[in-house]
Amino acid sequence: MQEDRCLVSCIHEDVIQKITGVSEPNEYLERLAQLFKVLGDPTRVRIIYALMQHELCVCDLAHILQMSQSSISHQLRLLRQNQIVKKRREGKIMFYTLADDFVTKLFVLGMEHVRNETYKEYK
């Protein structure tokens, strides 16, 4: 925690008042963080990217990503719980698709940024 002296010298109370006023309910910010967190893993990104192209079964995904069926299944569960993907059974096979097109929008937007990055600079 910051000390008391800090309160006197550096905090810009006026600005803080203004910000606190417009503050988004913390619950939404929490959920937003959770959403990005789910998207913030290479395996899950690759799963989502594959599903952006076509509906796929667990086995296909394991084959495409060259990973175990178990780990793919674990990740799909997470994606399901967060309503990123949904599944449909056809006999023994489970087919997965994106739950809606909003993730695609996020991906397109994020990809734009990532493509324009030059290199990670560290100031």
Partner DNA sequence: AAAACAATTGAACAATTGCTCATATAATAA
Partner DNA sequence: TTATTATATGAGCAATTGTTCAATTGTTTT
The 97-116 site mask, x for binding a copy of itself (CB under 8 A), equals -----x--xxx-xxxxxxx-
What is the Cα Rg of the chain in Å?
21
**Given the structure tokens 């600079």, which residue do they identify?**
121
In whole angstroms, what is the distance from residue 43 CA to residue 21 CA?
39
Partner that binds at residue 88, options a copy of itself, DNA, none, CB closer than 5 to 8 Å by kind: none
90 three-class SS: strand
Under rule CB under 8 A, residue 85 binds a copy of itself: no
Q: Note the residues at the interface with DNA (CB under 7 A).
A: 5-6, 9-10, 37, 41-44, 57-59, 62, 67-71, 73-78, 87, 89, 91-95
